[in-house]
Chains A and B, each alone.
Chain A
Amino acid sequence: MNTFRNFLVSLILSLLVFSCKNELPILSDYSAYEYAGTDANGGTWKPILLTIPDQIAIPVPDAINSAAYQAELAEVVTATQSLTKTQGEAVAYWTNNPTLRWNEISLEMAAKYNLIPGPNADGTYTLPDPANPNNKPYFPFAHPAYTCRALAYLSVAQFDGLIASWHYKYTFNRPAPKLSNASVNASYASNNLPTYPSDGAVIAVISRDILTAMFPLEKEFLDQKAAEHLASLKWAGENVESDITAGTTIGVEMAKIALARASSDGMKKAQTPKPVSDSIKGAAFDRFGWQWDNLETPVRPVGLAPLFGNVRLWNVPNVETVRPGPPPAIGSPEFQKDADELIDIADHLTLEQRKIANWWQDGLGSYTPPGHWNRFAKEYIIEAKMNPLRTARVFAYLNMAIMDGGISCWDTKYFYHYPRPIQTIPGFKTIMGTPNFPSYTSGHSVFSSSAAEVLSYFFPNDASQFTKWAEEAAMSRVYGGIHYRFDAEVGLAQGRDVAKYTVEVARLDGAD
């Protein structure tokens, strides 16, 4: 009679808390911290997009004893000595590692825009239009491929911008405001990081500009966020005006460089018209004798981003290099074994399997699997007390590998065009929606093992945890009934292969 006892206990407990529902957390739980190190040689690390660290020029700063600097310093003294409540909250929110906050904002953008367009009254579908983002359905549809790319450009630009920032910091060696004037009431732990140009401003401006390009309807929100972030740098006593101006210059130019790559990386052609989609499907049928079909009502005429596999890779020389061999032929014993497993799981789903399927679902309306792995990274970065540059480095390599994984996975999906379980198993029902793209290989598996491989490089002591998570993410799709085991297992290996190229670049960038 455990049920009855539990019922009574919960009755009593809920009486006690009758009128107080706790506030639920809407942010990652972290605050400003002391960096484990400042990476004084960070300006010598090899950037991803910049050819040299001083490619973006900024003026030589005024000397500490100049009248101009002293005036700026006086402004910061005043600002830090009388923070309003709102200013204090902004300082606490942004922290001295705002890369994490901007990553969090980008995940929320993804979750907000990860909504699949619904059908029109006549059964047709309208796709989001980047030229008219405000027309319904709103642009973008932040599906996993879209989101992994947005995160990659954001993180790469942040990393390069901070390398440039570090280069100048240790060229000019301007000390923190507090070290020049003890009346500055600094909010964050002191560190020996030179302040010109402001790394916070670099991050604020790059993040604002990249995310505005990726989520154009959020321009106003992002402008307001960045303005608050920039202002908080003075409120916290971190930077004087000229630090922020120089950081802004780097941020603006760095975002342009990243967005120039984005505008020509092939993403514009990823969502094909129906004739192209049909010819891709026809080619697979001719080659293998099967084809994936969308089974929604009404049928979607084109799968999700059939040519995302053609998008420019970051670190893999070409997409064919990492394309796995073909899946088992439909009806073959290998196929039947894994199809039977799906039926068996659906008939005897355990609570544990259901929980794993849901915990990793990261489906429509969520921040997607790439977002999930960014969240993991954030937690380990905080634990390691990384400075902003090292933080950006983890995100940059993580998100390049995840995007390369996504490109490779999509190439495989549309090359083999393999049908989903609901198409091959008559009457099969699932506990989660089947996505609008072919089955083989599993996106969750490739994204997750790419991510796990990179995180294992940066946090080797936790490698076994990352591997375990990736394997669990892969199997979650089998428990959910939307992937065969071979989709998951081959996808895991594929993600590892893809990520090795990125890890190799990281190993040689001068940071380790």
Chain B
Amino acid sequence: MRKCFTKFILLLGALIIQIEVQAQTPVDAIMMKKREFCVAAAYDHGSWDHYWEGRYLRTNGNIGTLTRTTVMPMVAFGLWDRVNLLASLPYVATRSSGGQLAGVSGLQDLSLFVKATVYEREFGSAKGSVLAVGGFSRPVSNYLSDYQPYSLGLGTTEWNARAIAQYRLGMGLYVRGSVAYLHRGNTRAERDYYYANGSYYTNLMDVPNAWTYQGALGIWLINEDLKLEATYTSQRSMSGDDIRAYNAPQPTNRVDIDQLGGSIQYYPPFVKGFGVFANTSQIVNGRNMGKFINFGVGATYQFSL
């Protein structure tokens, strides 16, 4: 029951890499009981000094190192034992070490999720479960998605649907896999002509839809006070153009990502309902994406009504 914050871990990673690998969706297989609340706060520092222009990995002296800092409050609520609601609203700040372009900061997108257990079965001491998550997010400030690579986010509504399957052994070892489809709308630029493999006479930009996949291997240790997890996550856009030679990215770009991550979570047995976590991730392969490395820390507190 005190493990609520697992839900948020990878959600955070998503925001850090800007193009939401995790669709800002909880991707674990843990549920809270009815009328349980969990509040959490997470801080993340992501940066890159190389980025993929199309598939070409390069540097840019007028950006140097781009840094993206995220502070994200989150809340989750057990509507029923088998249905949870979650919400998050990150504050993001960006800056670069090179060049003269100004960084930006502000509230990004409000996300809401409904998470449900659709199947559970015990196999002796082992347990298998399948969960479904539906989510929606939308910008809450007037940040400019077209101000890449500094922009706070993609500036569009997103619907996402995710299926999660987990199999956990009695000794605490577990494997988990998930797949999600991210359906994005258009984002509004502040120009009414742009080039994306051809002319567009509109201020609307089609943000590509995407699939994400994740595989995780983890273990609970020390009487389930400590959890270690390693993940591989990927995103594949369904459409979009490449960043042109030495040109700025734009929200229409086809963004692909392969990312490795690891996290550790600790629930001190002497503080009821309280937990801390730390995580890191590295994008190892990408397209039209910064080669982000991220470090994050956070805390959660869980209570019942």
Contacts and interface: CB of A to CB of B under 8 A. Distances in A.
B125 interface: no
Interface string B73-114: 000000000000000000000000011111100000010100
B199 to A, nearest CB: 5
B270 interface: no
A346 B62 contact: no
Interface in A24-63: 24-29
Contacts of B246: 115-118
Given A115-B244, A364-B247, A24 B195 contact: no
Nearest to B103: A429
B110 A358 contact: no
Contacts of B192: 359
Interface string A431-445: 111100000000000
Contacts of B64: 297
Contacts of B140: 3, 7
A355 interface: yes
Interface string A8-38: 0011001101110100111111000000000
A422 B102 CA distance: 12
A119 B61 contact: yes
A111 interface: yes
A366 interface: yes
B225 interface: no
Given A11-B138, A21-B206, A24-B206, A296 B61 contact: yes
Nearest to B203: A359
Contacts of B199: 26-27, 104, 107-108, 111
B245 A14 contact: no
Contacts, number: 118
B110 to A, nearest CB: 6
A295 B157 CA distance: 38
Interface string A100-117: 000010011001100111
Contacts of A355: 190
B202 interface: yes
B190 A108 contact: no
Contact of A365 (B103, B112, B204, B247): B247
B185 A21 contact: yes
A361 interface: yes
A366 B136 contact: no
A18 B209 CA distance: 12
A11 B136 contact: yes
Interface residues of B, number: 43
A431 B102 contact: yes
Given A14-B185, A365-B248, A295 B100 contact: yes
B234 to A, nearest CB: 24
B223 interface: no
A511 to B, nearest CB: 29
A120 to B, nearest CB: 11
B186 A21 contact: yes
B119 interface: no
Nearest to B183: A18
A367 interface: yes
A297 B99 contact: yes
Interface in A280-318: 295-298
Interface in A345-392: 346, 351, 354-355, 358-359, 361-362, 364-367, 372, 375
Contacts of A25: 200-202
Nearest to B158: A14
Interface in A105-139: 107-108, 111-112, 115-119, 136-137
Nearest to A117: B246
A297 B62 contact: yes
Contact of B204 (A24, A297, A359): A24
B143 to A, nearest CB: 10
A160 B242 CA distance: 40
B232 interface: no
B194 interface: yes
- Interface of chain A: mostly helix, strand, loop or mixed: loop
Given A108-B199, A431-B147, A115 B247 contact: yes
A479 B103 CA distance: 16
Interface in B170-204: 183, 185-186, 189-195, 198-202, 204
Given A117-B246, A358-B144, A365-B248, A434 B200 contact: no
Contacts of A18: 159, 183
Contacts of A432: 101
A58 B147 CA distance: 54
A108 B195 contact: yes
A364 B183 contact: no
Nearest to B204: A24
A366 B194 contact: yes
Contacts of A104: 199
A307 B75 CA distance: 62
Contacts of A358: 144, 146, 189-191
Nearest to B95: A429
A359 B146 CA distance: 12
Contact of B201 (A27, A361, A364, A422): A27
Interface in B25-72: 61-62, 64
A390 B61 CA distance: 48
A354 B61 contact: no
A346 B102 contact: yes
Nearest to A364: B247
Taking each of B190, B192, B206, B248, which has the highest tally of chain A beta carbons within 10 Å of its own beta carbon? B190
Nearest to B195: A111
Contacts of B138: 7, 10-11, 14
A102 to B, nearest CB: 14
A430 interface: yes
Contacts of A359: 190-192
Contact of A366 (B99, B142, B195, B204): B195
A104 B195 CA distance: 13
Contacts of A295: 100
Given A24-B202, A24-B206, A117-B246, A7 B110 contact: yes
B102 to A, nearest CB: 4
A21 B156 CA distance: 12
A115 B100 contact: no
Contacts of A422: 100
B101 A433 contact: yes
B99 to A, nearest CB: 7
Interface of B: 61-62, 64, 98-103, 110, 112, 136, 138, 140, 142, 144, 146-147, 157, 159, 183, 185-186, 189-195, 198-202, 204-206, 244-248
Given A3-B110, A24-B202, A346-B102, 17 more contacts: A10-B157, A11-B112, A11-B136, A27-B201, A111-B195, A115-B247, A118-B246, A119-B61, A136-B245, A295-B100, A298-B61, A365-B195, A366-B193, A428-B100, A430-B102, A433-B101, A434-B100
5 contacts: A14-B138, A119-B61, A351-B142, A432-B101, A481-B102
List of 8 A-B pairs having minimum Cβ-Cβ separation, nearest first = A297-B61, A118-B246, A358-B190, A429-B102, A111-B195, A422-B100, A14-B157, A25-B201
